[in-house]
Amino acid sequence: MLDGKKMLFSGMQATGNITLGNYLGALKNWVNLCDEYECFYCVVDLHSITVRQEPAELRKRARNLLMLYIAAGIDPEKNCLYYQSHVSGHAELGWILNCFTYMGELNRMTQFKDKSAKHADNINGGLYTYPVLMAADILLFQSDVVPVGADQMQHLELTRDIAQRFNNVYGDVFTIPEAYVGKAGARIMSLQDPTKKMSKSDENPNASIYIMDDRDTIIRKFKRAVTDSDTRIIYSEDKPGIRNLIDIYSVASGKTIAEVEKEFDGKGYGDFKLAVGETVADVLEPIHKRFDELSKDKAYVDGIIKANAEKAGYIANKTLRKVQKKVGFPERIR
């Protein structure tokens, strides 16, 4: 609790290009949560180095992601937007929690299995203990709720188990976090294979709309989106491509599924795809504009980074000191 508000924590990796799926499924929904919660949105750069990164590129992407948080409408005065690497407590608590996590648990993590298959030449310890660092992120802020996608649910479950285990030994140290279930966040699928999720790590650039794509690119990608050989624009199980486009159009325009079906009754896929492209481009336009302004205002963004890292660090340290004391580390002499 801070100022009578419950704590909410989430994070995103700065690797890969942020997609429309990330925006409609996460970022957009984060904007108003600060009315109800004390929100911390972290750029999780420590997690990023579990796979090899080009340093200059990582630095640039991390800053861009932080600016994108702001450009997407998350108010940096009302939310704490910061880099994980600026708050050393993440790594310090991560170490301690490693000692409270079993290899058997980590062996079961499906994301580890997927990622080690993908990066077979670099299956490092960090990739293996990635979920423990994520647990540290969440527990450091005594988070009550964590908005996460289905793919991160297993990590959140593990976080709860670690917290329980620690509390059983040392008393009530950590708040046990829960998944934030708000209004169903949109699940946006790949434009090239609508049976899988739109992903920032997809190798085919036509599969994803990147949040920074320009209007022409957006319209072209929607035009090429994989659909079926039918012609009707209806929301149906056996039309995953059209269903995905209806979902996107619905969230982007604020219209219900039924309204969308009605609007395009009797019209063809071509008209529909163009409308989806234009609507999405309209939604992203103000974000691009704001991002552009932020890119040109280094002093302002630097100020946000400094102030928010301090705020996050202060709160993180409170938990960290308590944990260090509980496990038996010697008192600091002042």
* Beta carbon nearer to ligand TRP, 47 or 239: 47
| Minimum separation from the CB atom of position 28 to ligand TRP (A) | 16
Residues annotated as catalytic are 115, 197, 200
Sheet with 6-12: strands ordered across: 80-83, 37-43, 6-12, 145-146, 178-179
The residues that touch ligand TRP, with contacts defined as CB under 6 A, are 9-13, 44, 47, 134, 137-138, 146, 148, 152
CA distance 188 to 101: 33
| Minimum separation from the CB atom of position 146 to ligand TRP (A) | 5
Task: Determine how many CB atoms are found less than 10 A away from the CB of residue 181.
Answer: 9
CA distance 5 to 306: 23
- In angstroms, how far is the first alpha carbon of the chain from the final one? 28
| Minimum separation from the CB atom of position 82 to ligand TRP (A) | 13
Place of tokens 């059983």: 168
| Minimum separation from the CB atom of position 147 to ligand TRP (A) | 7
Q: Is 170 in contact with 327 (CB distance < 8 Å)?
A: yes
* Beta carbon nearer to ligand TRP, 110 or 231: 110
Q: Is 145 in contact with 178 (CB distance < 8 Å)?
A: yes
* Beta carbon nearer to ligand TRP, 197 or 273: 197
Measured from each CB, the residue nearest to ligand TRP is: 11
CA distance 187 to 135: 24
CA atoms within 13 Å, Cβ hemisphere of 119:
17
| Minimum separation from the CB atom of position 44 to ligand TRP (A) | 4
* Beta carbon nearer to ligand TRP, 47 or 63: 47
* Beta carbon nearer to ligand TRP, 44 or 284: 44
